[in-house]
Protein backbone atom coordinates (compact mmCIF):
# COMPACT_ATOMS: atom_id res chain seq x y z
CA UNK A 1 0.00 0.00 0.00
CA UNK A 2 1.23 3.48 -0.86
CA UNK A 3 0.70 6.53 1.30
CA UNK A 4 -1.64 7.93 -1.37
CA UNK A 5 -3.86 4.86 -0.98
CA UNK A 6 -3.76 5.19 2.81
CA UNK A 7 -4.54 8.89 2.48
CA UNK A 8 -7.55 8.07 0.28
CA UNK A 9 -8.97 5.81 3.02
CA UNK A 10 -8.66 8.63 5.56
CA UNK A 11 -10.17 11.22 3.21
CA UNK A 12 -13.14 8.90 2.57
CA UNK A 13 -13.71 8.68 6.33
CA UNK A 14 -13.50 12.47 6.54
CA UNK A 15 -16.28 12.77 3.96
CA UNK A 16 -18.43 10.32 5.94
CA UNK A 17 -17.95 12.36 9.11
CA UNK A 18 -18.54 15.63 7.28
CA UNK A 19 -21.84 14.31 5.92
CA UNK A 20 -22.88 13.54 9.51
CA UNK A 21 -21.74 17.04 10.56
CA UNK A 22 -19.09 15.62 12.87
CA UNK A 23 -15.58 16.89 13.59
CA UNK A 24 -13.20 15.71 10.87
CA UNK A 25 -10.45 18.30 10.51
CA UNK A 26 -6.86 17.10 10.04
CA UNK A 27 -4.08 19.67 10.43
CA UNK A 28 -0.84 19.84 8.47
CA UNK A 29 1.04 18.70 11.57
CA UNK A 30 -1.21 15.65 11.84
CA UNK A 31 -0.66 14.77 8.18
CA UNK A 32 3.09 15.12 8.73
CA UNK A 33 2.99 12.70 11.66
CA UNK A 34 0.84 10.26 9.71
CA UNK A 35 3.30 10.32 6.82
CA UNK A 36 6.24 9.76 9.16
CA UNK A 37 4.51 6.86 10.90
CA UNK A 38 3.55 5.36 7.55
CA UNK A 39 7.13 5.49 6.28
CA UNK A 40 8.41 3.21 9.06
CA UNK A 41 8.55 0.01 7.04
CA UNK A 42 6.72 -1.58 4.13
CA UNK A 43 4.30 -3.79 6.06
CA UNK A 44 1.74 -3.25 8.81
CA UNK A 45 2.14 -2.91 11.70
CA UNK A 46 4.74 -0.25 10.93
CA UNK A 47 7.86 0.36 13.01
CA UNK A 48 7.79 2.28 16.26
CA UNK A 49 8.54 6.01 16.36
CA UNK A 50 9.73 7.72 19.53
CA UNK A 51 7.80 10.58 21.04
CA UNK A 52 10.89 12.79 20.76
CA UNK A 53 11.02 12.17 17.01
CA UNK A 54 7.35 13.15 16.61
CA UNK A 55 7.77 16.20 18.81
CA UNK A 56 10.78 17.34 16.78
CA UNK A 57 8.93 16.68 13.53
CA UNK A 58 6.04 19.06 14.23
CA UNK A 59 7.58 21.17 17.02
CA UNK A 60 4.31 21.15 18.97
CA UNK A 61 4.05 20.41 22.68
CA UNK A 62 0.54 18.98 22.23
CA UNK A 63 1.54 16.46 19.53
CA UNK A 64 0.18 13.62 21.70
CA UNK A 65 -3.25 15.24 21.78
CA UNK A 66 -3.15 15.57 18.01
CA UNK A 67 -2.38 11.85 17.70
CA UNK A 68 -5.25 11.07 20.07
CA UNK A 69 -7.56 13.15 17.88
CA UNK A 70 -6.51 11.14 14.81
CA UNK A 71 -7.32 7.95 16.69
CA UNK A 72 -10.58 9.11 18.29
CA UNK A 73 -12.01 11.51 15.72
CA UNK A 74 -10.98 9.76 12.50
CA UNK A 75 -10.36 6.20 13.67
CA UNK A 76 -6.72 5.86 12.56
CA UNK A 77 -5.30 2.69 14.16
CA UNK A 78 -2.38 4.23 16.08
CA UNK A 79 -0.78 2.20 18.86
CA UNK A 80 1.28 3.50 21.78
CA UNK A 81 3.53 1.36 23.98
CA UNK A 82 4.44 1.88 27.64
CA UNK A 83 7.46 3.99 26.63
CA UNK A 84 5.31 6.42 24.62
CA UNK A 85 6.49 5.16 21.26
CA UNK A 86 3.92 5.21 18.45
CA UNK A 87 3.19 3.16 15.34
CA UNK A 88 0.50 2.58 12.72
CA UNK A 89 -0.97 -0.81 13.53
CA UNK A 90 -3.27 -1.32 10.55
CA UNK A 91 -4.52 0.53 7.45
CA UNK A 92 -8.06 -0.44 8.45
CA UNK A 93 -9.76 2.41 10.28
CA UNK A 94 -11.49 1.82 13.61
CA UNK A 95 -14.91 3.15 14.53
CA UNK A 96 -14.50 6.86 15.12
CA UNK A 97 -15.78 8.75 18.14
CA UNK A 98 -15.33 12.42 17.21
CA UNK A 99 -14.91 14.93 20.00
CA UNK A 100 -17.99 16.98 20.67
CA UNK A 101 -17.02 20.20 22.40
CA UNK A 102 -19.47 21.94 24.67
CA UNK A 103 -21.09 25.13 23.47
CA UNK A 104 -20.41 28.25 25.54
CA UNK A 105 -23.89 27.97 27.04
CA UNK A 106 -23.31 24.31 27.98
CA UNK A 107 -19.89 25.02 29.50
CA UNK A 108 -21.25 27.99 31.47
CA UNK A 109 -24.02 25.73 32.80
CA UNK A 110 -21.47 23.06 33.79
CA UNK A 111 -19.25 25.64 35.50
CA UNK A 112 -22.18 26.97 37.51
CA UNK A 113 -23.39 23.46 38.43
CA UNK A 114 -19.92 22.57 39.76
CA UNK A 115 -19.49 25.95 41.48
CA UNK A 116 -16.59 27.10 39.27
CA UNK A 117 -14.42 24.60 41.12
CA UNK A 118 -11.89 21.98 39.98
CA UNK A 119 -13.39 18.65 41.03
CA UNK A 120 -9.97 17.25 41.95
CA UNK A 121 -7.87 19.89 43.71
CA UNK A 122 -10.68 22.25 44.71
CA UNK A 123 -9.24 25.29 42.91
CA UNK A 124 -12.03 27.86 42.89
CA UNK A 125 -12.24 30.49 40.17
CA UNK A 126 -15.45 32.52 40.53
CA UNK A 127 -17.02 33.16 37.13
CA UNK A 128 -13.94 31.48 35.57
CA UNK A 129 -12.20 34.84 35.48
CA UNK A 130 -8.72 33.39 34.77
CA UNK A 131 -9.89 30.95 32.10
CA UNK A 132 -7.97 28.12 33.79
CA UNK A 133 -11.03 25.90 34.36
CA UNK A 134 -11.67 23.37 31.61
CA UNK A 135 -14.40 20.90 30.70
CA UNK A 136 -13.12 17.31 30.80
CA UNK A 137 -14.56 13.96 29.77
CA UNK A 138 -14.55 11.79 32.91
CA UNK A 139 -14.23 8.65 30.82
CA UNK A 140 -12.01 9.53 27.82
CA UNK A 141 -13.34 9.09 24.32
CA UNK A 142 -10.47 6.64 23.71
CA UNK A 143 -12.03 4.45 26.42
CA UNK A 144 -15.50 4.68 24.84
CA UNK A 145 -16.64 7.60 26.96
CA UNK A 146 -19.55 9.60 25.58
CA UNK A 147 -20.61 13.24 25.35
CA UNK A 148 -23.57 13.01 27.73
CA UNK A 149 -23.74 15.64 30.48
CA UNK A 150 -22.97 13.08 33.20
CA UNK A 151 -19.57 12.36 31.59
CA UNK A 152 -18.33 15.96 31.91
CA UNK A 153 -16.54 17.50 34.88
CA UNK A 154 -14.72 20.76 35.56
CA UNK A 155 -10.95 20.53 36.10
CA UNK A 156 -8.26 23.17 36.35
CA UNK A 157 -5.54 23.10 33.69
CA UNK A 158 -2.99 21.46 36.01
CA UNK A 159 -5.31 18.62 37.06
CA UNK A 160 -6.52 18.13 33.49
CA UNK A 161 -2.92 17.61 32.35
CA UNK A 162 -2.31 15.27 35.31
CA UNK A 163 -5.40 13.23 34.45
CA UNK A 164 -4.36 13.01 30.79
CA UNK A 165 -0.94 11.68 31.77
CA UNK A 166 -2.48 9.19 34.21
CA UNK A 167 -4.73 7.92 31.40
CA UNK A 168 -1.82 7.18 29.06
CA UNK A 169 -1.47 3.42 28.73
CA UNK A 170 -3.95 2.79 31.56
CA UNK A 171 -6.19 -0.27 31.23
CA UNK A 172 -8.01 -0.04 34.59
CA UNK A 173 -11.77 0.40 34.82
CA UNK A 174 -12.32 4.15 34.50
CA UNK A 175 -15.15 4.03 37.02
CA UNK A 176 -12.65 3.07 39.73
CA UNK A 177 -10.31 5.95 38.85
CA UNK A 178 -9.85 8.84 41.28
CA UNK A 179 -9.16 11.20 38.37
CA UNK A 180 -12.43 10.36 36.62
CA UNK A 181 -14.71 10.07 39.65
CA UNK A 182 -12.99 11.94 42.51
CA UNK A 183 -16.23 12.49 44.42
CA UNK A 184 -16.78 8.72 44.56
CA UNK A 185 -13.29 7.23 44.61
CA UNK A 186 -11.61 9.96 46.64
CA UNK A 187 -9.56 12.98 45.64
CA UNK A 188 -5.87 12.27 44.83
CA UNK A 189 -3.55 14.07 47.22
CA UNK A 190 0.20 14.45 46.80
CA UNK A 191 2.21 14.28 50.02
CA UNK A 192 6.00 14.60 49.92
CA UNK A 193 7.82 12.33 52.38
CA UNK A 194 11.57 12.42 52.94
CA UNK A 195 13.58 9.16 52.92
CA UNK A 196 14.01 9.55 56.70
CA UNK A 197 10.23 9.72 57.21
CA UNK A 198 9.69 6.72 54.94
CA UNK A 199 12.28 4.78 56.93
CA UNK A 200 10.53 5.64 60.21
CA UNK A 201 7.17 4.62 58.70
CA UNK A 202 8.71 1.31 57.64
CA UNK A 203 9.67 0.73 61.30
CA UNK A 204 5.93 0.56 62.00
CA UNK A 205 5.70 -2.40 59.62
CA UNK A 206 4.30 -0.33 56.75
CA UNK A 207 5.69 -1.08 53.30
CA UNK A 208 6.15 1.69 50.76
CA UNK A 209 3.12 0.60 48.72
CA UNK A 210 1.00 0.61 51.92
CA UNK A 211 1.78 4.19 53.00
CA UNK A 212 -1.34 5.66 51.36
CA UNK A 213 -3.68 3.20 53.12
CA UNK A 214 -1.82 3.71 56.41
CA UNK A 215 -2.15 7.50 56.22
CA UNK A 216 -5.86 7.13 55.45
CA UNK A 217 -6.21 4.90 58.51
CA UNK A 218 -4.52 7.50 60.72
CA UNK A 219 -6.71 10.28 59.33
CA UNK A 220 -9.89 8.25 59.94
CA UNK A 221 -8.71 7.47 63.48
CA UNK A 222 -7.99 11.14 64.20
CA UNK A 223 -11.31 12.32 62.77
CA UNK A 224 -13.37 9.73 64.60
CA UNK A 225 -11.79 10.29 68.00
* Euclidean distance between the first and the last CA atom of the chain, given in angstroms as a whole number: 70
| Cα torsion 103, 108, 112, 114: sign | positive
Is it true that 3-90 and 104-185 share their CATH fold? no
- Domain boundary assignment for the chain: 3-90, 104-185, 195-224
Residue 190 in this model has a pLDDT that exceeds 90: no
Alpha helices in the chain (DSSP H): 3-19, 28-38, 51-58, 63-69, 104-113, 157-167, 182-185, 195-202, 211-224
The pLDDT value given to residue 118: 94
Average pLDDT, the chain: 89
Q: What pLDDT, in 10s, does the model give residues 159-180?
A: 998 898 888 778 889 999 989 9
Q: What pLDDT, in 10s, does the model give residues 72-126?
A: 889 999 998 888 899 999 999 998 877 777 888 999 999 999 999 999 999 999 8
The pLDDT value given to residue 150: 92
For the structural domain made of 104-185, what CATH number should be given?
1.10.30.50
Q: Assign 191 to helix, strand or coil.
A: coil
- Residue 138: CB atoms within 10 Å: 21
Fold of the domain built from segment(s) 3-90: Arc Repressor Mutant, subunit A (1.10.10)
Nearest Cα residue to 69 out of 31, 35, 38: 31
The pLDDT value given to residue 97: 76
Amino acid sequence: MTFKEFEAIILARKEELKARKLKCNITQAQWAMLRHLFDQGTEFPKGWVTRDALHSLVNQSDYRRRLTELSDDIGVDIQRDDKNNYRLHSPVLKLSNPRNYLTKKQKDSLLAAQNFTCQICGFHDPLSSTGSLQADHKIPLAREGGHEVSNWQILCHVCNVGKRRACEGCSRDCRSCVWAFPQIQGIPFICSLTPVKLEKIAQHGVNKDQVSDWLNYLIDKEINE
